[in-house]
Amino acid sequence: MKIPFRKSLVTLGLFLILGMALAPGRAAAHCDAYDGPVIVAARAALEQAEVTPLLKWVKAEAEGEIREAFAQTLKVRGLGEEARELADRYFFETLVRLHRAGEGAPYTGLKPAGQIAPVVAKADQALAQGNIDALVKAILQHTEEGIREHFTHALETAKHADESVAAGREYVAAYVTYVHYVEGIAQVVHGAPHHGEAAAPATGHGH
C-alpha cells in the first residue's frame, strides 16, 4: 500500500523530532516530570480525594497497588505539612513507577518541572485544544527543511567524492546521514517502538 507523500513527511517529522525529544536523558521527562500529565492528574486526584481518574494511567494489574497507596497517602496527608509533602512524593513515585512499568520502561526517578521537550508540550497542547493543525504545520516545515538540507549536502559532496580520500569520506558521511534520515519514514510507518520498548532489528542500510 502506497503512503501519500504528505503523510510520509508528517510521519518522518514525528519520528525525527520526537526521536530527539525522547533521546536518552529526556525520554522520561514527560511522564516523570512534576509538570507532566501524570503528576498533574495525581495532584488533582489527591485534592479531590478521588482515585478513579488516575487508574487510566496504569495497567489493570497495578490498580490494587495504586488504590492502596492512594488511601495511605490520604491518611498521612492529614498529619501536617511536612507529612503531606512526603506522602505526596511517595504517591507520585508509586504512580509514575507503575505507569512506566506498564509501558515497559524503567523508572528513573521524578524529574523537575520545565524539562518537557517543546514538541511534546505542543503535542499535549494540541490535544487540550482539540486542534492538531499548528503542530502538523510545524512538523511539515521542519521535516522538509531537514530533507532538503541533507539531500543538498549529499548531492554537493558527491560531485567531489573522487577528488581525494578525504572528499570521498565527506561524501559517505553525508550520504549515510541523508539515507538514515529518510529511512526514518519506514521505521515509523511500519511500527516504531514505543519509548519504553526495544527497537526492532535494523534492515536495509547497515551504516
Same domain, yes or no: 141 and 99: no
| 190 band by pLDDT with thresholds 50, 70 and 90 | low
Q: Does residue 66 surpass a pLDDT of 80? A: yes
> Closest Cα partner for 32 from 85, 125, 94?
94
Q: What is the pLDDT of residue 31?
A: 81
Q: What is the mean pLDDT of residues 68-86?
A: 95
Say whether pLDDT at 21 is over 50. no
Separation between Cα atoms, residue 171 and residue 162, nearest integer Å: 9
- Is residue 120 included in any domain, yes or no? no
Report, as an integer, the average pLDDT of 40-59.
95
Is the same domain home to 14 and 63? no
Distance, CA of 94 to CA of 103 (rounded, Å): 14
- Segment 65-84 mean pLDDT: 95
Considering the domain architecture, whether residues 38 and 98 belong to the same structural domain is answered as: yes
Which residue, of 103, 119, 146, is where some domain finishes?
A: 103
Determine phi and psi for 33, rounding to 5 degrees: -80, 150
Range of the domain at 185: 5-22+131-189
Which pLDDT score, from 0 to 100, does residue 145 have? 87
Give the pLDDT confidence of 96-115 residue by residue, as tens digits: 999 999 988 899 899 888 87
**94 and 32 both lie in a single domain:** yes
pLDDT class for 183, splitting at 50, 70, 90? Answer: confident
For residue 187, the model assigns a pLDDT of: 75
Query: How many folded domains does the chain comprise?
Result: 2
Average pLDDT over residues 49-70: 96
- Give the pLDDT score at 172: 94
